[in-house]
Amino acid sequence: MELNQAVQALTALAQAHRLTVYRLLVQAGPAGKVAGEIASALGLPPATLSFHLKTLTHAGLIHPHPEGRHVRYTADFAAMHALIDYLSENCCGDTRAACAPPAPQPPVTTTRSPT
């Protein structure tokens, strides 16, 4: 990933309404949400929401999928991971010091730790 691309993505996320929209779409998964659903979830006027959706779209974080007179938006998960990787890239010069996340987050299968 390139600097300017990352800045654009971070700029898109660095705004309360847009960050809320983005997380809503991330949590919605591949099904996404149509613009109207998002608008009523956030209580934003159409013009304002459209502006924010455009910003997120231009940053490559979400994508529009026209469906008749609705437009469904979905999060781009690859873009999300690319951004996250860019932030933590070569963390601590590859020495796994303070870089590892606090808990590796065992999903369902319990990893017994000797505590």
Partner DNA sequence: TCCATATTTCCAATATTATCGAAATTTCAG
Partner DNA sequence: CTGAAATTTCGATAATATTGGAAATATGGA
Exposure class string for 79-110: b at 16+ Cβ within 10 A, else e: bbebbeeeeeeeeeeeeeeeeeeeeeeeeeee
Angle at the Cα of 76 from the Cα atoms of 30 and 14, rounded to 5 degrees: 120
Question: For 9, which DSSP code?
Answer: H
Give, as ranges, the residues between 19 and 38 that touch a copy of itself (CB under 8 A): 19-20, 22-23, 26-30
Minimal CA–CA distance to 13: which of 86, 69, 65, 70?
86
Residue reference for tokens 């304002």: 48
Stretch that binds a copy of itself, among 11-19, 37-45, 47-55, 62-70 (CB under 8 A): 11-19
The reply on whether position 89 binds a copy of itself by CB under 8 A is yes
The 45-64 site mask, x for binding DNA (CB under 7 A), equals xxxxxxxxxxx--------x
Give, as ranges, the residues between 39 and 68 that touch a copy of itself (CB under 8 A): none
Mapped onto helix, strand or coil, the DSSP state of residue 28 is helix
Which positions lie near a copy of itself, rule CB under 8 A? 3-4, 6-7, 10-11, 13-16, 19-20, 22-23, 26-30, 77-78, 80-81, 84-93, 95-99, 101-102, 107
Which positions lie near DNA, rule CB under 7 A? 11, 14-15, 17-18, 34-36, 39, 44-55, 64, 66, 68-71
